[in-house]
């Protein structure tokens, strides 16, 4: 039957539609959205919920994404501290292949991993992923051959794959769609910060010589152990949904679930997102949504320079004439710190002016100017200055594209599928990005 809307006498409406137990019927979801229910939500309590979520959820996601980016890109720091020489991959394209294999499982698991987030419960699944990749990152330090490096990078991509989409889906279990982009920006700014933090860590860790392991293995040992400990800690503090958030009162939990149901525009009638059932109908809706593919295409062109920049920045700086390894590691910090602040600024600005595309367009122009400075100038100072423009230009767009698509997809499984598909398609950018900087060009 079609959706019906009846007045209950107190100024609110009850919607009776043809969705039962969170499952869609054959009718189009727009028929349901036309009869969107109205919920009486206390704006003061709603703001209080936002503050609590910001204090209790965002810091954990920030930390997880910080370590995720450190663990995938610290191979660039290890490279200039002797990894390629010790593993006999300093010539040819073996190092680039080791970078590339990370993204193969990373791409393949994006969509199914997003489905699992709710099935297994996000508060268990996401900490499990970070703990597993922390262990794999630690074992990278024991690598003695090219084959071992490739195997570890494959497993690292397997466990990190789906995590970014999982975070976006997880956030959508707590925040309304118009609040998503700024929160995505809050955790995504950890990506450039990881370049700064990772460079500082690598500077100190690469001086360790102990137990037959010298320099670069300690980058993986220590950073991997830190990630593992952080992942285990997340088990105790990350709720799966507002319904089981211990930092909320019973009334706050009820209010949080109510506003999420309103935000889904009546696409389901479940009170708790955990009660929404999987259906291939939702998957088809996401796969037929043209905005998913437009966003993926745009993101591919943003990720090619972002990935090549984050993976090869230490090598690029060495190529500018800063041959001292310690100096090169330290010089990766300022450009990444600049990008950290710009991501925060642009996420806030785009929400305030309700514009995404113009800000991304400006970012690409800034990055283009930076690349021109690096390529055209003969002054190392000017070329190093170009890395600041590249960093501040390429990082902000990713957060905006994810928030942009997430804002336009509902309910849960449509968003989970669409965001996973977006990330999987866009990360094909890694195939050209990992081969942009070859050893022969060093």
CA–CA dist 393, 402 (Å, integer): 17
Q: Which pLDDT score, from 0 to 100, does residue 36 have?
A: 47
Quote helix, strand, coil % in the chain, to nearest 5: 75, 5, 25
Name all contacts of 231-234 with Cβ < 8 Å and 24+ positions apart: 231/64, 231/127, 231/128, 231/129, 231/130, 231/131, 231/132, 231/134, 232/127, 232/131, 234/60, 234/64, 234/126, 234/127, 234/130
Mean pLDDT by 10 residues, the chain (442 residues): 43 40 42 48 85 94 92 88 90 89 92 83 92 96 94 95 86 84 88 86 88 91 96 94 91 87 59 60 81 89 88 85 83 92 89 83 94 91 94 89 77 79 89 78 58
Cis omega (within 30 of 0) for bond into 411: yes
Residues contacting 182, CB < 8 A, separation 6+: 347, 348, 351, 403
Residues contacting 396, CB < 8 A, separation 6+: 185, 339, 342, 343, 346, 347, 359, 360, 363
Q: Where are the domains of the chain?
A: 58-441
Q: Which pLDDT score, from 0 to 100, does residue 265 have?
A: 56
Q: Which pLDDT score, from 0 to 100, does residue 264 have?
A: 63
Superfamily per CATH, domain 58-441: MFS general substrate transporter like domains (1.20.1250.20)
SS3 214: strand
Encode 192-227: b = buried (16+ Cβ within 10 Å), e = exposed: bbbbbbbbebbbebbebeeeeeebbbbbbbbbbebb
Q: Which pLDDT score, from 0 to 100, does residue 2 have?
A: 41
Q: Which pLDDT score, from 0 to 100, does residue 24 have?
A: 45
Q: Which pLDDT score, from 0 to 100, does residue 194 have?
A: 87
CA–CA dist 103, 271 (Å, integer): 37
Angle at Cα 389 formed by Cα 383 and Cα 392, nearest 5°? 145
CA–CA dist 97, 100 (Å, integer): 5
Q: Which pLDDT score, from 0 to 100, does residue 435 have?
A: 85
């Amino acid at each position: 039957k079609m959706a019906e809307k009846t007045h209950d006498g107190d100024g609110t409406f009850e919607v009776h539609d043809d969705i039962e137990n969170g499952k869609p019927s054959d009718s189009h979801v727009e028929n349901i959205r036309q009869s969107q229910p109205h919920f009486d939500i206390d704006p003061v309590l709603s703001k209080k919920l936002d503050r609590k979520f910001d204090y209790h959820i965002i810091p954990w996601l920030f930390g997880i994404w910080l370590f995720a980016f450190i663990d995938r890109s610290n191979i660039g720091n290890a490279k200039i501290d002797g990894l390629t020489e010790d593993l006999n991959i300093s010539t040819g394209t073996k190092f680039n292949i080791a970078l590339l294999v990370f993204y193969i499982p990373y791409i393949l698991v994006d969509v199914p991993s997003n489905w699992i987030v709710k099935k297994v419960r996000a508060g268990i699944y996401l900490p499990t992923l970070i703990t597993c990749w922390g262990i794999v990152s630690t074992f990278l330090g024991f690598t003695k051959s090219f084959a071992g490096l490739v195997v570890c990078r494959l497993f690292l991509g397997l466990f990190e794959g789906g995590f970014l989409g999982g975070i976006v889906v997880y956030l959508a279990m707590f925040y309304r769609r118009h609040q998503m982009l700024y929160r995505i920006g809050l955790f995504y700014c950890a990506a450039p910060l990881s370049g700064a933090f990772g460079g500082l860590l690598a500077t100190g860790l690469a001086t360790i010589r102990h137990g037959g392991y010298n320099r670069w293995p300690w980058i993986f040992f220590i950073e991997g152990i830190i990630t593992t400990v952080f992942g285990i800690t997340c088990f105790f503090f990350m709720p799966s949904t507002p319904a089981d958030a211990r930092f909320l009162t019973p009334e706050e939990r009820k209010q949080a679930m109510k506003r999420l149901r309103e935000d889904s525009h009546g696409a389901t009638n479940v009170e708790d997102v955990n009660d929404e059932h999987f259906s291939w109908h939702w998957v088809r809706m996401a796969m037929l949504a043209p905005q998913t593919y437009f966003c993926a295409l745009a993101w591919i062109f943003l990720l090619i320079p972002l990935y090549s920049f984050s993976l090869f920045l230490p090598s690029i700086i060495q190529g500018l004439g800063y041959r001292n390894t310690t100096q090169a590691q330290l010089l990766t910090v300022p450009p990444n710190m600049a990008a950290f602040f710009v991501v925060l600024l642009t996420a806030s600005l785009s929400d305030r002016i309700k514009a995404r595309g113009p800000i991304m367009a400006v970012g690409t122009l800034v990055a283009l100017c930076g690349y021109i400075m690096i390529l055209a100038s003969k002054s190392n100072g000017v070329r190093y200055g170009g890395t600041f423009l590249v960093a501040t230009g390429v990082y902000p767009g990713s957060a905006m594209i994810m928030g942009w698509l997430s804002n336009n997809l509902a309910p849960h499984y449509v968003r989970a599928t669409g965001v996973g598909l977006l990330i999987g398609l866009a990360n094909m950018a890694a195939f050209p990005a990992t081969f942009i900087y070859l050893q022969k060009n060093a």
